[in-house]
Amino acid sequence: MKFSNFFIPTLKDVSSDVKMKSHELMIKSGMIRQETSGIYSWLPLGYRVLKKIINKIEKIHDEGGVNQILMPTIQSSDIWKISDRYETYGKEMLRITDRNKKELLYGPTNEEMITAIGRQYIKSYKTLPRKFYHIQSKFRDEIRPRFGVMRAREFLMKDAYSFDIDEKNAEITYHDFYKLYLKIFEELNIPVIPVRAPSGEIGGNLSHEFHLIVESGESEIFIGEDVLKKKFNELSYKEVLDLKSFTDDYYKQTNFTEKLKSYKSIEIAHIFLFGTKYSSSFKFDVDSDKGKFKPFMGSYGIGVSRIPAAFIEYSNDKNGIIWPHSIAPFSIQLINLLTDDNQCLDFCDKLYIELIRNGFDVIYDDRTERPGIKFSDADLIGTPIQIIIGNSLKKNNEISIIKRKEKVEQKININEINNYLSNMLRKVI
């Protein structure tokens, strides 16, 4: 993509109401625009980050045998009355009455709807286990939406749901999702910590949240000294339950006396095993050779639109965002400092085409702007690799390559660039 064709409305200043670094940088870099309180448009740069996260989530869920579906955002109140949550969910639920006086709601979650789907189609134990997921906008009418997309009213969520024969098999599925989530965050280069948590409104007695430790986080988690050294993906189900990490709410509910260290953090995912809470209320029976039974269920959520903000809180400096290649809107920023020079123009055009041909995700800054503006924008939007074409090309047949995170500049002779790109860049992309 050429910068001249790409809409990046960068800003120098933001409103004094903006308090969190991620909120500030997402607005300054032109990732998002606030439409009203707690509701945002995702502009081209921000949407590219979302798409990379979504693509990784979809890939790993598909590999894990989880079926992707898409449920509607608008739900009937009828199914929520079956579960007895219509009146108890609270004011976060946005209720709607249509022209026929039918009570509807903008779904804050989908346990009821997926249970209704399961009840209609899952009839035999031979078809279990079943796992479904979708990625969809949710709406929760937060009393104090704040921190940009970190705590918005409308947000993008990946929620998955499972149906199993009994509790033992449901625990196996729960553990599979636990490991699947760790794989997602590992491939996104997000170092999450899994912690035990209360189930809250969802129900059940088994729950884990996945947190990113950042000093600006609004959550507090308690962790044993040995936990940070664990390879969480290798833990057995029992080891997962015995893990010495707790959210603040869960910690306060227990009589646990072992000394743990507290950390500020941001929650970006939450998984639950709630058994037959919903299958019972929906009278959802499945046939087996031993008679009818109600399937055990679980739900597994990732705050997709929260992830970019959480990671920016984790990784930034005074100049802007520092993305990993896994979720950066572009992996390479090609910067031409001499747009009025035919030699530089020709070289940049050819290099741009070659980078794209080799599978690199490139934004080519072809603007007739001052070098300072181009460098400032590159640092602000956080592109991991900057390739700079300027006077060094004309004088010494060299280009500069800067790694955004380390701010290390390396000179490369143009005769060596193909070898460099194949050997160096592909190691980090």
pLDDT per residue over 245-256, tens digit each? 888 877 777 766
Residue 414 within any structural domain of the chain: yes
In angstroms, rounded to a whole number, what is the distance separating the alpha carbons of residues 147 and 32?
12
pLDDT of residue 138: 95
Shared domain for 220 and 241, answered yes or no, is yes
**Residue 338: alpha-carbon gap to chain centroid:** 38
Kindly indicate the confidence band of residue 18, based on its pLDDT and cuts at 50, 70 and 90.
confident
- The partner residues of 160 in beta bridges, in order of sequence, read 133, 300
Shared domain for 154 and 203, answered yes or no, is yes
Tell whether the model's pLDDT for residue 204 goes beyond 70: no
The count of domains in the chain is: 2
Element containing residue 26 per DSSP (H, E): helix 21-28
Tell whether the model's pLDDT for residue 429 goes beyond 90: no
Residue 323 within any structural domain of the chain: no
Q: Using a cut of 0.85, tell me whether the model's pTM lies above it.
A: yes
Residue 72 within any structural domain of the chain: yes
Residue 370 belongs to a domain with what CATH number?
A: 3.40.50.800
What average pLDDT does range 340-357 have in this prediction? Answer: 91
In angstroms, rounded to a whole number, what is the distance separating the alpha carbons of residues 6 and 3?
5
Shared domain for 311 and 371, answered yes or no, is no
In angstroms, rounded to a whole number, what is the distance separating the alpha carbons of residues 358 and 369?
28
Q: Give the number of other Cβ atoms within 10 Å of residue 344's Cβ.
A: 19
pLDDT of residue 428: 53
Shared domain for 96 and 137, answered yes or no, is yes
In angstroms, rounded to a whole number, what is the distance separating the alpha carbons of residues 174 and 298?
7
Kindly indicate the confidence band of residue 173, based on its pLDDT and cuts at 50, 70 and 90.
very high
Q: What is the pairing mode between strands 362-365 and 332-336?
A: parallel
SS3 67: strand
Kindly indicate the confidence band of residue 417, based on its pLDDT and cuts at 50, 70 and 90.
confident
Shared domain for 295 and 355, answered yes or no, is no
pLDDT of residue 426: 57
Shared domain for 342 and 298, answered yes or no, is no
pLDDT of residue 258: 73
Residue 56: is it exposed, middle or buried by C-beta count within 10 angstroms (0-12/13-18/19+)? Answer: middle
209, 243 contact by CB (below 8 A): no
pLDDT of residue 224: 86
Shared domain for 234 and 292, answered yes or no, is yes
In angstroms, rounded to a whole number, what is the distance separating the alpha carbons of residues 324 and 305?
17
Shared domain for 366 and 308, answered yes or no, is no
Shared domain for 15 and 36, answered yes or no, is yes
- The partner residues of 408 in beta bridges, in order of sequence, read 403
157, 135 contact by CB (below 8 A): yes
Radius of gyration of the chain (CA): 25
Residue 322 within any structural domain of the chain: no
Tokens of 267: 């929650």
What average pLDDT does range 308-318 have in this prediction? Answer: 96
Shared domain for 307 and 348, answered yes or no, is no
Kindly indicate the confidence band of residue 358, based on its pLDDT and cuts at 50, 70 and 90.
confident
- HSE-up of 423 (CA within 13 Å, CB side)? 5
pLDDT of residue 50: 97
In angstroms, rounded to a whole number, what is the distance separating the alpha carbons of residues 132 and 62?
10
Domain extent for 270 = 3-317
Kindly indicate the confidence band of residue 228, based on its pLDDT and cuts at 50, 70 and 90.
confident
pLDDT of residue 414: 85
206, 240 contact by CB (below 8 A): no
In angstroms, rounded to a whole number, what is the distance separating the alpha carbons of residues 164 and 401?
53
Model confidence pLDDT, tens digit, residues 281-299: 999 999 999 999 999 999 9
pLDDT of residue 168: 95
Residue 343 within any structural domain of the chain: yes
% of residues, the chain, pLDDT over 90: 76
Shared domain for 201 and 344, answered yes or no, is no
Kindly indicate the confidence band of residue 229, based on its pLDDT and cuts at 50, 70 and 90.
confident
Element containing residue 426 per DSSP (H, E): helix 426-428
Model confidence pLDDT, tens digit, residues 106-158: 999 999 999 999 999 999 999 999 999 999 999 999 888 888 998 899 999 99
Which residue stretches of 91-157 are H helix? 111-121
In angstroms, rounded to a whole number, what is the distance separating the alpha carbons of residues 78 and 86?
8
Tell whether the model's pLDDT for residue 9 goes beyond 60: yes
150, 99 contact by CB (below 8 A): no
pLDDT of residue 385: 93
In angstroms, rounded to a whole number, what is the distance separating the alpha carbons of residues 23 and 1?
25
Model confidence pLDDT, tens digit, residues 33-58: 999 999 999 999 999 999 999 999 99
What average pLDDT does range 361-387 have in this prediction? Answer: 94
Picking from 261, 282, 317, the residue at the C-terminal end of a domain is 317
- As a whole number, the mean pLDDT across the chain is 92
Kindly indicate the confidence band of residue 205, based on its pLDDT and cuts at 50, 70 and 90.
confident
Picking from 291, 317, 343, the residue at the C-terminal end of a domain is 317
Tell whether the model's pLDDT for residue 214 goes beyond 70: yes
In angstroms, rounded to a whole number, what is the distance separating the alpha carbons of residues 220 and 267?
10
Residue 12 within any structural domain of the chain: yes
The terminus-to-terminus CA distance of the chain in angstroms comes to 18
